[in-house]
Amino acid sequence: MTPRILKETMDEWSREAHVPADLADRALRRRGRRRLGTAAIAALATAAVVTSVALVVPRFGPHRPVATPTRHEVIHLAPAHRPPAKVTSGDDTDGSVLKDTVNSPPKKMVAAGRVALSAYWTGTYRTTPNGPDTRGGTWYLLDPVTRTYQKTPWAHLDVAPGLRYAAVLEKTLPTSRIGVFDMETRRVLAWIPVDRPVGGVAWSPDGTRLVATTYDGDPDLPESSAQCPTGGGNQVPRSDSRPPSASRIHTSRTGFYVIDVATATAGDFHAVDPCSASSSRSRRDFAWSRDGSLLYELGGTVEGPELFYDLDGRPHDPVVDHAGQRQSQVGVSPDGKLLVGEQGLLTSVTELSTGKVVGHQQVLQLLAWADNDHLIGQGCAGGCGDEFDDGLVLVSVDGRRAVQLWRHRWDPRSQMAWQSVLTLR
């Protein structure tokens, strides 16, 4: 502090000070009762001056207010309920087994333990010169109030944990905005605009963010494809010395956005090479790792596993589960003791601590843990033909008990195709 500033500060402080008219009389009256030493008086005076200067000086410095970022929430997300811990009986219990084996597709809510069938898609495959065409499919979304499935106008959707919100995309894909739909009130809370058209959406495990996969064309049509260079994309290493030929990878995917749902804002666009992974699928949506820290590509093959990215679009080392397995959408049981093995008839579950197989299940695929002792799978529990006439099945870890939740999901006579969405409730 310069002498000039100090002098100005003291002058201003002295002008602002108010001296009582009877100050001298009061001082004389107190003289007989209390005496202060010269050193103490000096110390108090010095402290008063320093304190006054400290309080006044900032008025002369540059005004730099502390920035307090504001979070403008467009959508006030209700917290997701903690999923029930166990499979229970009775329609009014949290983890109750709810099934509809009469209607196909189901009309009444299907659920068991921690998981519910939150939505499903039905359509008819048509063969075209460019491959199968799935245009014309219809999405049905759970109404958690009436516990029924209602037909929707959406082209694509995903449901957040807790069965309260759905992210929806309008027809026709890809689309330039994403809707956040309240499943209880049955209305769109907000539309989130994006600069690049989106064909797929997926909720983060905590239900606060979305990954929106972008496409240049309809993600479900194989004619919307990109030409990959020699040796790229869906090339599988050959056993001979001939180089692989150029091929077409059937996707128009361009990249992704990570979206903050509460503020209804899309982050930066992250471009991803459509020829980066081995897959012939046209729809190549991104999904979340189980802890929500990474993204990975769906549609990997045995020869080419899923590719992982951080949330800024940078390639990341593959996530490896226990026992050296690749990331699985089913993974480890809620208590962390059991692990789902390789998919395909028969499926299996192993004990993590020993690596011992503790059960085989007569299903085609295990989809989700209902609790620590039961899983939801894709298959048949008897009375519906065979395991390939498949619906949703609740099956015990040891494979000895199975309950049909949904009659079947594919009718070979009508060429009906089905896609189910399972969500923590």
Report pLDDT digits (tens) over 354-391: 989 999 998 888 999 999 999 999 888 766 665 566 78
In the numeric block, which tokens belong to residue 176?
Answer: 């330039």
Q: In the structure, what pLDDT confidence band is assigned to residue 219 with cuts at 50, 70 and 90? A: confident
Amino acid identity, residue 56? Answer: V
User: Is 243 a residue whose pLDDT tops 50?
Assistant: no
Alpha helices, H only, 57-167: none
Which percentage of the chain shows pLDDT scores above 90?
45
The pLDDT assigned to 233 comes to 44
Q: Which residues have CB under 8 Å from 264's CB, separation 6+?
A: 74, 75, 180, 190, 191, 192
Question: Would you call 341 helix, strand, or coil by DSSP?
Answer: coil
Q: Which residue has the higher pLDDT, 240 or 343?
A: 343
Which helix H or strand E contains 9, and what residues bound it? helix 3-16
What is the Cα–Cα distance from 273 to 9, expressed in whole angstroms? 64
Contact indicator for 53, 45 with CB cutoff of 8 Å: no
Mean pLDDT of 73-95: 90
**Of the ranges 62-76, 269-283, 298-312, 408-422, which is most confident?**
269-283
In the numeric block, which tokens belong to residue 190?
Answer: 């907000």
User: Is 92 a residue whose pLDDT tops 90?
Assistant: no
Summary mean pLDDT of the chain = 77
In the numeric block, which tokens belong to residue 257?
Answer: 């956005």
User: Is 97 a residue whose pLDDT tops 70?
Assistant: yes
Which helix H or strand E contains 28, and what residues bound it? helix 23-31
In the numeric block, which tokens belong to residue 41?
Answer: 């008086």
b/e map of 37-59 (b: 16 or more CB within 10 Å)?
Answer: eeeeeeeeeeeeeeebeeeeeee
* Residue 316, beta-bridge partner list: 308
The pLDDT assigned to 133 comes to 57
Amino acid identity, residue 8? Answer: E
What is the Cα–Cα distance from 302 to 318, expressed in whole angstroms? 14
How many CB atoms neighbour CB 268 within 10 A? 10
How many CB atoms neighbour CB 339 within 10 A? 21
Which helix H or strand E contains 13, and what residues bound it? helix 3-16
Contact indicator for 185, 164 with CB cutoff of 8 Å: no
With CA atoms as reference, report the closest residue to 101 among 403, 417, 424.
403
What is the Cα–Cα distance from 112 to 392, expressed in whole angstroms? 11
Give Cα 163 distance to the centre of its chain. Answer: 13
What is the Cα–Cα distance from 132 to 129, expressed in whole angstroms? 8
Q: Which residue has the higher pLDDT, 14 or 368?
A: 368
Mean pLDDT of 324-343: 76
Mean pLDDT of 56-63: 41
Amino acid identity, residue 258? Answer: V
* Ramachandran bin of 186, using left for φ above 0, alpha for ψ from -120 to 50, beta for the remaining angles: left
What is the Cα–Cα distance from 118 to 422, expressed in whole angstroms? 6
Q: Which residue has the higher pLDDT, 84 or 68?
A: 84
What is the Cα–Cα distance from 239 to 45, expressed in whole angstroms? 92
Residue carrying structure tokens 């790792």: 289
* Of 47-56, 325-334, 352-361, 380-389, minimum mean pLDDT range: 47-56
The pLDDT assigned to 284 comes to 86
The pLDDT assigned to 268 comes to 96
With CA atoms as reference, report the closest residue to 113 among 367, 388, 389.
367
User: Is 96 a residue whose pLDDT tops 90?
Assistant: yes
User: Is 306 a residue whose pLDDT tops 90?
Assistant: no
Contact indicator for 348, 355 with CB cutoff of 8 Å: no
